[in-house]
């Protein structure tokens, strides 16, 4: 994670006694920005904030000056100013911050120290130990002082100091500065004001993104290439969105609970787009070619491994049903099995060694192995609802496991597993009819013990 960043600030004052104080906000506010107001007001009148703003605390110095701090998660409709109300008519000074890269306050709000107060030229914020221990925090050292004094020096290691004060007697002033620091606690040094005065001071901690909400063990765990991006929606649990990668571009967009969308990859482009309510163990597990894409769409589809092991140029699986493994293993140039209707074919393409083999099956059939053994560069299985296929691409050396299984003829010979570590699963009633073999180039696929395939 990285520390939050101050993107813009603004200041304003009221140099006459009023109860409605116009506070100027930073320019360029966008939805999702964090807004923080440092509000210094003379005396102890009590402070009321407009709707949508949350006061963290008020720090008082006797009845001479009040330091109030509040925040808001912007929605983009804030406008240029807000009205803050004091219980009695007083003068005030204000500094406002626009911050990005922060945790959503609904998950973890900014925190303020207990506060310190005193009299003199050195307002000194007290120590703060934020919730959650050591993180990449944005720290703000802040103070309010009575009168027209200016803030002339800021705590050591703090930058972008801001001094805001009125010019009339009875006014108030504010001083603040920022620091990005990874620590479990912070105790800023002291400010210096132009002359001794009553003061109140405190320390603010703004939490970085990832402090709460989404549980991510390793969104980007080990990466050695140019660009890795994990977009993780709040509320999900992701063990490893991108665990180990050594290629140029790996992108995982997660909408569900995913063990490993992209686990190990060494090629140029891997993309897993997951939508609906699918649960996926490994969309792309091990790959070493240029382009692998798994598009998974359905309501409650469960896919063990859409693309498990591959070493060729192009593999595409379009899944419309419950599929243990759409593509198994192949090493030939072009094999396509088009299955529609409710047909049974034992070996439409059993053994082939040429560049183009296509089996188009329609009518009423059950397919045990549309492509059994092959050897070339491109494999594509398009399976329409209504067909039962035990092994679209069953044995070869370039891609995924084995089967496309759909309704209503309920035969799943062997569901398979991305890594071959789980025994086959028998479901329904295994039915398979051998279609007469044609030509010497076609053979029945090898038997798979326990799978129900013939």
Q: How far apart are CA 242 and CA 282, in angstroms?
A: 11
Q: Would the pLDDT of 122 be above 60?
A: yes
For residue 379, count other CB atoms closer than 10 A to its CB: 31
Residue 193 resides in a domain: yes
Average pLDDT of the residues of the chain: 65
Residues 361 and 424 in one domain: yes
Please give the pLDDT value at position 231. Answer: 43
Instruction: For residues 192-203, give the mean pLDDT.
Output: 98
- The pLDDT tens digits of the residues spanning 103-120 come to 999 999 999 999 999 999
Residues 22 and 129 in one domain: yes
Residues 67 and 167 in one domain: yes
* Range from 36-40, 201-205, 388-392 carrying the lowest mean pLDDT: 388-392
Q: How confident is the model at residue 384 (pLDDT cuts 50, 70, 90)?
A: very low
Instruction: For residues 425-438, give the mean pLDDT.
Output: 36
For 202, the token pair is 């405190």
Q: How far apart are CA 376 and CA 229, in angstroms?
A: 33
The DSSP letter of residue 441 is T
- Tell me the C-alpha to C-alpha distance, in Å, between residue 386 and each of 321, 349, 448: 10, 20, 24
Number of domains making up the chain: 3
Q: How confident is the model at residue 176 (pLDDT cuts 50, 70, 90)?
A: very high
For 145, the token pair is 């002082």
Whole-structure pTM value: 0.51
* Among 125-139, 247-261, 382-396, the range of highest mean pLDDT: 125-139
Residue after which a domain boundary falls, among 161, 190, 206: 206
Residue 174 resides in a domain: yes
Dihedral sign, Cα of residue 443, residue 449, residue 451, residue 452 = positive
- Tell me the C-alpha to C-alpha distance, in Å, between residue 136 and each of 106, 153, 183, 193: 19, 25, 7, 29
Sequence-ordered list of residues with C-beta below 8 angstroms from that of 421, at least 6 positions apart, any chain: none
Q: Would the pLDDT of 320 be above 90?
A: no
Domain containing residue 56: 5-206
- Cβ(237)–Cβ(159) under 8 Å? no
Please give the pLDDT value at position 207. Answer: 98
Q: Would the pLDDT of 241 be above 80?
A: no
Closest CA to 339 of 315, 368, 372: 368
Q: Would the pLDDT of 13 be above 50?
A: yes
- Cβ(425)–Cβ(415) under 8 Å? yes
Q: Would the pLDDT of 100 be above 70?
A: yes
Q: How far apart are CA 139 and CA 185, in angstroms?
A: 10
Residues 124 and 76 in one domain: yes
- The pLDDT tens digits of the residues spanning 336-381 come to 434 333 333 333 333 433 334 443 433 333 333 333 333 333 334 4
Per the model's pLDDT, the better-predicted residue between 399 and 145 turns out to be: 145
Q: What percent of the chain has pLDDT over 70?
A: 46
Please give the pLDDT value at position 149. Answer: 96
Residues 192 and 243 in one domain: no
Q: Can you say how many angstroms the Cα of residue 227 is from the centroid of all Cα atoms in its chain? A: 15
Residue 96 resides in a domain: yes
Q: Would the pLDDT of 126 be above 90?
A: yes
């Amino acid at each position: 994670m990285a520390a939050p960043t101050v993107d813009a600030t603004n200041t304003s004052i009221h140099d006459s006694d009023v109860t409605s104080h116009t506070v100027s906000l930073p320019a360029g506010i966008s939805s999702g920005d964090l807004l923080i107001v440092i509000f210094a007001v003379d005396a102890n009148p009590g402070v009321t904030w407009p709707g949508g703003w949350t006061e963290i605390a008020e720090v008082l110095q006797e009845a001479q000056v009040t330091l109030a701090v509040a925040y808001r998660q912007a929605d983009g409709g804030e406008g240029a100013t807000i009205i803050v109300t004091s219980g009695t008519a007083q003068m005030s000074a204000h500094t406002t911050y626009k911050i990005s890269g922060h945790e959503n306050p609904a998950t973890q709000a900014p925190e303020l120290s207990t506060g310190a107060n005193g009299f003199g030229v050195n307002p000194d914020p007290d120590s703060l130990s934020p919730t959650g221990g050591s993180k990449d925090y944005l720290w703000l050292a802040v103070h309010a002082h009575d009168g027209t004094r200016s803030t002339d020096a800021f705590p050591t290691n703090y930058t972008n100091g801001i001094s805001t004060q009125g010019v009339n007697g009875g006014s108030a002033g504010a001083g603040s500065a920022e620091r990005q620091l990874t620590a479990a606690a912070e105790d800023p040094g002291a400010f210096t004001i132009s002359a001794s005065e009553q003061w109140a001071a405190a320390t603010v901690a703004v939490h970085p993104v990832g402090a709460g909400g989404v549980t991510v063990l390793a969104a980007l765990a080990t990466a050695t290439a140019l660009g890795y991006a994990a977009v993780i929606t709040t509320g999900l649990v992701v063990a490893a969105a991108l665990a180990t990668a050594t290629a140029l571009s790996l992108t995982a967009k997660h909408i569900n609970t995913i063990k490993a969308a992209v686990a190990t990859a060494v090629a140029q482009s891997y993309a897993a787009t997951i939508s609906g309510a699918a649960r996926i163990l490994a969309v792309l597990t091990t790959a070493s070619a240029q382009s692998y894409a798994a598009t998974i769409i359905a309501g409650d589809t469960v896919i063990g491994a859409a693309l498990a092991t591959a070493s060729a140029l192009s593999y595409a699986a379009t899944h419309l049903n419950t599929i243990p493994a759409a593509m198994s293993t192949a090493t030939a140039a072009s094999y396509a099995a088009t299955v529609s209707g409710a047909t049974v074919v034992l070996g439409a393409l059993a053994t082939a060694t040429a560049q183009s083999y296509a089996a188009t099956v329609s009518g009423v059939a059950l397919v045990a192995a549309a492509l059994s053994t092959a050897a070339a560069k491109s494999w594509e299985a398009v399976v329409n609802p209504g067909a039962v296929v035990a092994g679209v691409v069953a044995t070869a050396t370039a891609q995924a496991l084995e089967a496309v299984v759909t309704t209503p003829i309920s035969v799943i010979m062997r569901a398979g597993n991305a890594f071959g570590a789980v025994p086959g699963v028998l479901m329904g009633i295994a039915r398979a009819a051998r279609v007469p073999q044609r030509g010497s180039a076609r053979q029945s696929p090898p038997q798979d013990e326990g799978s129900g395939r013939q």
